[in-house]
Chain A
Amino acid sequence: MYEIVEHAIDAHAVAAAVADPTAGAIVTFIGTTRDHNDGRRVTLLEYEAYPEMAVAELRKIGETVQQRWPITKVAIVHRIGVVPIAEASVVIAVSSGHRRAAFEACHFAIDRLKEVVPIWKKEHFEGGEVWIGSQTGERFG
């Protein structure tokens, strides 16, 4: 399961997608909108994707994970559009025979996602907004 969605993510459904009779562990990572960043009071996050490429890159991360660890299944779902405070923007689930591999693989997957998947995050805070990661550091408002 590799998806970009425009609605709330059901984390249980993502975890269920990697359930397997040979798995002894399922590790999930849920990235959520935090109400503060860099001393600013964050009001919401807004995500934009290059959807066709983002899904392909998510699939590649899953394939890399399965090559590096004895992982049974991988699922990654990323939400785009407005993600309110405390709601999930991304859910990753991996299953494996044993927990150590599942933890390591899940950690790798979220780090890799943030490096290469063409999804951008705009932080809306009290007094303005900014594209996170944008090296020009432009701020409006």
Chain B
Amino acid sequence: MEIQVRFFASVREKLRRSEATCTVADGATVRDLLDHLCREYPALEVVRKSLSIAVNREYVDPSHVLADGDEVALIPPVSGGLDVRDR
């Protein structure tokens, strides 16, 4: 499956790019995609735990199963405070 990935703010600067296209296996989860991205961009590993993830503009858990053509956004901490993954 092809997944469109978007990077923002501190992550975009760290990777020096705002988007990427990744190919992952059918049935891959968000966690699998992050594993893939961390192999491709080792600099991501340091901030991985701080990221929230959105698929097609909705926050999801790492166990969310991806579909071909999904848009996945890596969301660094937003300017306020609370961790959206704890909602």
Contacts and interface: CB of A to CB of B under 8 A. Distances in A.
A99 B81 CA distance: 28
Q: How large is the interface on B (under 10, 10 to 19, 20 to 34, 35 or more residues)?
A: 20 to 34
Interface in A59-87: none
Contacts, number: 70
Interface in A93-141: 111, 113-122, 131-136, 138
B80 A120 contact: no
A16 interface: no
A120 B76 contact: yes
Contacts of A136: 10, 46-47, 50
B73 A119 contact: no
Interface of B: 6, 8-10, 12-13, 46-47, 50, 54, 57, 59, 73, 75-82, 84, 87
Contact of B78 (A52, A56, A133, A138): A133
Contacts of A122: 9
B54 A118 contact: yes
What 6 pairs between A and B have smallest CB-CB spacing? A114-B80, A120-B9, A133-B77, A53-B57, A121-B79, A131-B10
B81 A133 contact: yes
Contacts of A52: 57
Contacts of B46: 136
Contact of B81 (A48, A50, A114, A134): A114
A133 B6 contact: no
Interface string A13-56: 00000000000000000000000000000000000101011001
B50 A135 contact: yes
Interface of A: 48, 50, 52-53, 56, 111, 113-122, 131-136, 138
Nearest to A131: B10
Contacts of A115: 78, 80-82, 84
B72 to A, nearest CB: 11
A53 B78 CA distance: 13
B78 A111 contact: no
A133 B80 contact: yes
A132 B79 contact: yes
